[in-house]
Structure 1
Amino acid sequence: MGKLIVFEGTDGSGKSTQFSLLTRRLEARGVDFRTMVFPQYTEPSSALIRMYLGGEFGARPSDVNAYTASTFYAVDRFAAFRKVWGEYYRNGGLMLSDRYTTSNAVHQASKEPEQDREKFFAWLYDLEYRHMGLPVPDLVLYLDVPTELTGQMLRRREHDTHTHADIHEQNMDYLRRCRATGLQAAKYYGWTVIACAKDGKMRSIDDIHSEIFLRVQECLKEN
């Protein structure tokens, strides 16, 4: 089997930027790898996700319970593994993924009461890794950012890209719960937490990248 490294974090945590920086650095070093970004919005397997995020099942994230919504995302990942990257991974390839099963642990588990979240974490592990046969990540980099800062980054992104926030990104209370849940999930699953803010301000992009690259190097050296 190959290696699977996953970037995770709440909306507005800078995942896409850090993901891009890592891929460029690995390319410059001649490392062979492939990338995936979830959800696969242009693929038929994401149809239910697009309907959910577009508010067709309800205007609030809580209108679709954690277990139901998780299956939408799980099916999209299963399709990608079977059609796109499974053979490469099984033959020893390095996969980098922007979001993965980990996203359900952050965004969907936040709908559950705090005392019930570990039950959900265990169910999610069984669903995607054991029953559906998706690979367990070798390294999950969880980018942790205070919600007030992620809110600022989301509004700036909307302005710069002329896009409209989905039902997750519009709900700041939901994003606060996601952050707390993400840290709870990181502890439960053993993820690597990258603290992206210091003294109430975001660390520089290069500073965060340096820490991420160090963790990736350590992972790639492991047998």
Structure 2
Amino acid sequence: SMYAIDRFASFRTDWEEFYKNGGIIIADRYTTSNMVHQMVKYDDQKERTAFLDWLEDFEFKKFGLPTPDAVCLLDMPLEVSEALMAERTGKTGGSTGDIHEGNHQYLVAVHDAYEELVERYQWHRIPCASKDEFSQYTLRTIEEIHNDVYQAVVNLLP
């Protein structure tokens, strides 16, 4: 609820007028991050669905926050994410700074939850890595990912 209140306060004080006058808002996470990190606390599918229904009502109806016109999930295979985090941790000689990054089970649960959210809300899945003929992953370029994101949202632009 505290994150939702923060989003509401930011909306009302910082960007509501801009948005209502036709401004385009691009957000890194927004309500979608809250969805995934809270829903993984529920093992029961009915409880997950009930939570998502509650969250939609709370943030989009009661608080009046704008419902996203599109969500692009920048999808990185979990094994690639973990390898990149391990490399980053190894270079710094310490923690990555995120308590969840070291918890493999939590990362699996979050990745699985994203799958559920993509299906429920028809998000655009943008792959950030591709497999070669030897089943090895290669990171896609920023330009390739950008082009996919652009194609996913171009029809929403004025």
**TMscore range, shorter length:** 0.7 to 0.9
Match of 1:182 among 108, 114, 122: 114
Gaps of 5+ in 2: none
Letter in 2 for 1:170: G
- Tell me how far 1:140 sits from its aligned partner: 0.5
Structure 2 Cα separation of the partners of residues 215 and 187 of structure 1: 16
Structure 2 Cα separation of the partners of residues 82 and 198 of structure 1: 41
Point out the structure with max Rg over C-alpha: 2
Q: Does 1:88 align with 2:21?
A: no
Gaps of 5+ in 1: 1-70
Structure 1 Cα separation of the partners of residues 19 and 86 of structure 2: 37
Letter in 2 for 1:102: T
Structure 1 Cα separation of the partners of residues 6 and 88 of structure 2: 25
Higher RCO (C-alpha 8 Å, min separation 6): 1
**Kept in 2: contact 1:186–1:192 (CA 8 A):** yes
Q: With structure 1 as the length reference, what TM-score do the two structures score?
A: 0.62
| Residues 6-57 of structure 1: CA deviation (Å, up to 9, x unaligned) | xxxxxxxxxxxxxxxxxxxxxxxxxxxxxxxxxxxxxxxxxxxxxxxxxxxx
**Kept in 1: contact 2:88–2:96 (CA 8 A):** no
**Kept in 2: contact 1:105–1:182 (CA 8 A):** no
Structure 1 Cα separation of the partners of residues 44 and 153 of structure 2: 31
Tell me how many residue pairs correspond in the alignment. Answer: 151
- Tell me how far 1:137 sits from its aligned partner: 0.6
Structure 1 Cα separation of the partners of residues 39 and 144 of structure 2: 30
SS at match of 2:84: helix
